Amino acid sequence: MRYMWEVSLHTLSWYITWMGALVYGIIWVGLVLSWFAIPKSPPRSSTEGPPISVIIAAHNELANLKSFAKGWLSQEYEPYELILVLDRCSDGSLAWLKQHFPHHPRLTIVEIDSSPNNWSPKKWALSKGIQQAKHEWLALTDADCYTPPTWLTTLSQKMSEPNQLILGLGFYRNYPGTLNLVIQFETFYTAFQYIGFANLGLPYMGVGRNLAYTQSFFYDAGGFQSIAEQLSGDDDLLVNAAAKALHTTTCINPAGITHSLPVFTWRDWFRQKLRHISAGKSYNSLSQAILGLFQLSHLCFYGGLFVTMITNFEPYSQIGLYFGRIFLGISTLLLIKNKIHSQKIILGYPLFDLFIFVYNLLIVPLGLILKPEWKKNLKHPKIPRKTVNW
């Protein structure tokens, strides 16, 4: 009886493993190929594009203002303004800006003393900034982001009809250590999906570190009103609710990539991921189904393979299937190696792929169940470390 039970479990596990491998392989290859479907935009000089309003919300970000404000105001692109929203700042941000950028022709400072109880503070701040925007096109990034001088020029190449929404790439700065490697891969893995699915006609999210849309897109979507109370989602939930394939494009040009400062402890990273994942509960049904299928296929492959090895170890078939998956992942990543901007991701793919299994098994369910709250990080403030060379 026990033998028959083990045989049945082994057979079922093999079936689950192969189904997981098949579904994952189809989606993975589709996403890789979609990166080649990004239409090339004609070159555009720094004076030819539409005027842009850059919106940045800052809450006690004096250290980051000192590092990045000059770059925000020194874009090679000419027709733009910067609207900097100081959200309940008590760190001297306003005084520093007035001292170093007095009467700057591009800079508009909006001060906010408080936000309504039923609004996420950042969404409220961004809404106030957008209300002050003079131009139809809006470009958004975060207060801890480095924007290269070519950032707006690159985005502007995508600002033409029928586009109303541009999904850019926002990565994190490289530092030594295992945590940073995990951050780099997880950030790429997320971008790999949202860029890929958008190119396949299924836009479902973007990142506030590098995002652009028109005022028409924002107000037609009702702004942040429907998601005002949620802690996260000023970027992905807005895109998920309002993005249409016809009006959405992507920008992966290296000249337009922004880089943020990462967290430096596992605890902070874990808290950050829970906050990001929690927004997924509000995605539309189609997005949840597609992303759920992709994650489930990952779980089925590794979970099923593990059970088959316990019940009946067959090294040739089991190890062969595993290395077949790794070969598929690495070989397809090599096809887009010039687009992903990191060779470490390819070299570490076998470990990273296993990490995503653990991530989907443990962290994702917690993020969907728990309701994280924002906590000010006093021990590890968001300031550049000495190793940063922008």
Question: For the residues 325-351, what does the mean pLDDT come to?
Answer: 82
Question: For the residues 81-103, what does the mean pLDDT come to?
Answer: 94
Nearest by Cα to 141 from 221, 279, 256: 256
Q: And the tokens for 128?
A: 């106030």
Q: What confidence category does residue 277 fall into, taking pLDDT thresholds of 50, 70 and 90?
A: confident
Question: For the residues 291-311, what does the mean pLDDT come to?
Answer: 91
pLDDT, mean over the chain: 87
Q: Quote the CA–CA distance of 113 and 133 in Å, as a whole number.
A: 20
The DSSP bridge pattern shows strands 52-58 and 80-87 to be parallel
Q: And the tokens for 250?
A: 């992507």
Q: Quote the CA–CA distance of 70 and 97 in Å, as a whole number.
A: 10
Q: What is the pLDDT of residues 137-146, one digit of tens each?
A: 999 999 999 9
What is the pLDDT, as a whole number, of residue 236?
87
Q: And the tokens for 316?
A: 């040739």
- Whether residue 207 contacts residue 252, with contact meaning beta carbons closer than 8 Å, is answered with no
DSSP three-state, residue 208: coil
The residue written with tokens 């690159």 in the block is 154
What is the pLDDT, as a whole number, of residue 100?
94
Indicate whether 1 pLDDT > 50. Answer: no
Q: What is the pLDDT of residues 206-238, one digit of tens each?
A: 999 999 999 999 999 999 888 877 767 778 889
Q: And the tokens for 319?
A: 């190890």
Q: What is the pTM of this model?
A: 0.89
DSSP three-state, residue 75: coil
CA 62 remoteness from chain centre: 24
Q: Quote the CA–CA distance of 280 and 232 in Å, as a whole number.
A: 10
- HSE of 264 in the Cβ direction (CA atoms, 13 Å)? 12
Indicate whether 60 pLDDT > 70. Answer: yes
Give the DSSP letter of residue 40: P
What is the pLDDT, as a whole number, of residue 39?
66
Nearest by Cα to 115 from 97, 89, 145, 93: 89
Q: What confidence category does residue 127 fall into, taking pLDDT thresholds of 50, 70 and 90?
A: very high
Give the DSSP letter of residue 174: -
Q: Which residue intervals of 147-253 are DSSP H helices?
A: 151-156, 178-199, 215-220, 236-242
Indicate whether 302 pLDDT > 60. Answer: yes
What is the pLDDT, as a whole number, of residue 386?
36
Q: What percent of the chain has pLDDT over 70?
A: 89
Q: What is the pLDDT of residues 366-390, one digit of tens each?
A: 877 776 555 443 333 443 433 333 3
Q: What is the pLDDT of residues 241-258, one digit of tens each?
A: 999 998 999 999 999 999
Long-range contact pairs involving 306-314 (C-beta distance under 8 Å, separation at least 24): 307/9, 307/10, 307/13, 308/10, 308/13, 308/14, 308/17, 311/6, 311/7, 311/9, 311/10, 311/13, 312/6, 312/7, 312/10
Q: Radius of gyration of the chain from Cα atoms?
A: 22
Q: Quote the CA–CA distance of 35 and 340 in Å, as a whole number.
A: 10
Give the DSSP letter of residue 378: S
